[in-house]
Amino acid sequence: MERLASLKVAIVGAGYVGLTTALALAYIGHRVTCVEKNAEKLLLLKSGKSPIYESGLEKLLRLVEGRVSFTGDIQEAVPEAEVIIVAVGTPNRTDGNADTGFVEKAACEVSQVMLDGHTYTVVIKSTVPIGTSRRVAHVIDRVLQERGVSPRVFFVSNPEFLREGQALYDFFYPDRIVVGAEHPEAVEVLRRLYRPILEQTFEPPDFLPRPRGFPLPPLITTDPVSAEMMKYAANAFLALKISFINEIAGLCEKVGADVTEVARGMGLDPRIGPLFLQAGLGWGGSCLPKDTAALLAMGQEHGYDMRIVQAAREVNFRQRLRAVEKLQEALKGVRGRVIGILGLAFKPGTDDVRESPALDVIRILCERGAHVRAHDPVALENARRALSGLEVEFFSDPYLLAEGAEALLLATDWPEYRRLDLCRLASVMRTSVLLDGRNLYDPGEAQKAGFLYLGVGR
Ligand code: UDX
């Protein structure tokens, strides 16, 4: 029975999505081969190391040794596979739309090595513009015709809803699994692929216990276009929700309300819910900015104005500027001032600094002549690379960063920062302004410690 349940899976791309998917599918019993073109990453993976900082990934890598293999050669992974998952990047083009070049290239390479008479289910897991599954199908069909072979190929859109920092959790314990397919047979293959997750019959990894009372996730079947749209719409709504509370935060500051109290009260309405109502520096990362830009671009392609999504982006990016203006006001100008930034990753739990609000604030402060110091528990090296060319000093100790500084900005709410000794920080600073960009601290405690405390929306 076990053998029947196990599928041969090829995964193209070992990034946040591809690697998480490869290891989790191997863990629940499938035989996985992961194709990674980047030689450096491949070397790390072959030596049991994860090229990305994602909690639990390295532990899982060790647990599934022997059931997942890594290669740079698609020829080794695809011909015998039953399921082929495309999880390569879809970076933004200058017009904002997602560039599906890597996806189409992967599809082309995959179709070059498919075997006559085999049945393949090609799964697009990358976040792709609406209609990409159709394009991929055309690319593959054309190559197969040129080669004169005719394997049976099904196409499925299976968007991922993984959050960075909680990717494994979201894979093993999803809210839903979405399958966009035109053939019922393809749906059945995906049902087999995810069965242990749909039925929650797998033994949880000891570092990732099953939440008590976790409800069995539904498998939603729909057409590929709706599946692709579902992903964009979900991310755009999350972005919108955050921008909404940030807009309310701005008004709270004017009228003296406390946005954290407002959010608490709002969130008790089950139609609103408490999550993603945390006012702060706004959203960053490799998804929300990219997906909202892609939605706008898709709208433009169809002469359709996505005004709410546009507004969510504008409010989001204005948060960065408002943080600088607050520092400007508190310090009577930032030129020549020593300002320490605590937190560089776009959110806690990851080393990813893509579109990080902290980095945008640092760029503006540097432009305005501030002396910027920066700290992050794990993203320091990525930030150093992303900020190359700017006069930023990097510190591995927040207390050293604070010595002689005139203001601190808490930009990423890492738990480590909650444990900082605020009195000690304030005592070594030249002037002790604290802009709490994520409302992490208790204003009263910060003031008692000697800070001029500034929050967001309170
Ligand atoms: C997001 C979606 O949550 C996930 O479902 C999708 O698959 C990928 O994109 P991710 O970008 O990893 O995940 O991070 P997320 O946890 O959503 O946070 C995104 C940004 O919003 C971060 O910069 C975070 O700091 C910010 N945020 C989040 C807020 O500012 N306020 C909040 O209340 C929540």
Residue 286 CA, ligand 1 centroid: distance in Å: 10
Residue 89: pLDDT above 90?
no
Domains 3-222 and 238-454 share a fold: yes
Average pLDDT over residues 105-129: 94
| 3-class DSSP string for 229-268 | HHHHHHHHHHHHHHHHHHHHHHHHHHHCCCHHHHHHHHHC
Helix locations, 286-334, DSSP H: 288-301, 307-331
Residue 35 CA, ligand 1 centroid: distance in Å: 28
Please tell me if the CB atom of residue 102 comes closer than 6 angstroms to any atom of ligand 1. Answer: no
Please tell me if the CB atom of residue 163 comes closer than 6 angstroms to any atom of ligand 1. Answer: yes
Residue nearest ligand 1's atom 25 by CA: 347
Residue nearest ligand 1's atom 28 by CA: 276
Please tell me if the CB atom of residue 290 comes closer than 6 angstroms to any atom of ligand 1. Answer: no
Tell which one of 125, 163, 245, 456 to mutate to probe ligand 1, the residue whose CB is within 8 A of the most ligand atoms: 163
DSSP 98: B
What is the sign, positive or negative, of the torsion defined by CA atoms of 262, 263, 264, 266? positive
Q: Which tens digits make up the pLDDT trace of 260-316?
A: 999 999 999 999 999 999 999 999 998 999 999 999 999 999 999 999 999 999 999
> Which SS3 state, helix, strand or coil, does residue 320 take?
helix
b/e sequence 347-369, b meaning 16+ C-beta within 10 Å = bbbbbbbbbbbbbbbbbbbbeee
Residue 3: pLDDT above 80?
no
Please tell me if the CB atom of residue 347 comes closer than 6 angstroms to any atom of ligand 1. Answer: yes
Residue 259: pLDDT above 80?
yes
Look at 41-55, 104-118, 360-374, 429-443 and tell me which has the smallest mean pLDDT.
Answer: 41-55
Residue 283 CA, ligand 1 centroid: distance in Å: 6
Q: pTM for the full model?
A: 0.95
CATH classification for the domain delimited by 238-454, as one of 3.40.50.720, 3.40.462.40, 3.30.230.70, 3.40.190.80:
3.40.50.720
> What is the Cα–Cα distance from 283 to 257, expressed in whole angstroms?
22
Residue 118 CA, ligand 1 centroid: distance in Å: 40
What are the residue ranges spanned by the domains of the chain? Answer: 3-222, 238-454
Please tell me if the CB atom of residue 235 comes closer than 6 angstroms to any atom of ligand 1. Answer: yes
Please tell me if the CB atom of residue 232 comes closer than 6 angstroms to any atom of ligand 1. Answer: no
Please tell me if the CB atom of residue 162 comes closer than 6 angstroms to any atom of ligand 1. Answer: yes
Which residues are known to be catalytic?
A: 287
Q: 220 or 65: whose pLDDT is higher?
A: 220
Over the chain, what is the mean pLDDT? 95
Q: What is the pLDDT of residue 126?
A: 86
DSSP 378: S
Residue 347 CA, ligand 1 centroid: distance in Å: 8
Please tell me if the CB atom of residue 440 comes closer than 6 angstroms to any atom of ligand 1. Answer: no
Residue 2: pLDDT above 60?
no
Tally the C-alpha atoms within 13 A of residue 385's C-alpha that lie toward its C-beta.
Answer: 8
Q: For residue 186, what is the enclosing H or E element?
A: helix 184-198
Residue 376: pLDDT above 50?
yes
- Using the atom order of ligand 1, give the atom closest to the CA of residue 287: 9
Residue 163 CA, ligand 1 centroid: distance in Å: 7
Residue nearest ligand 1's atom 1 by CA: 163
> What is the Cα–Cα distance from 212 to 320, expressed in whole angstroms?
39
Q: For residue 140, what is the enclosing H or E element?
A: helix 132-147
Residue 162 CA, ligand 1 centroid: distance in Å: 10
Q: What is the pLDDT of residue 128?
A: 84
> What is the Cα–Cα distance from 402 to 380, expressed in whole angstroms?
16
**Structure tokens that stand for 113 in this block:** 């090595």
- Using the atom order of ligand 1, give the atom closest to the CA of residue 412: 25
Residue nearest ligand 1's atom 16 by CA: 163
Q: Which tens digits make up the pLDDT trace of 302-333?
A: 999 999 999 999 999 999 999 999 999 999 99
The topology (CATH level 3) of 3-222 is Rossmann fold (3.40.50)
Average pLDDT over residues 63-80: 94
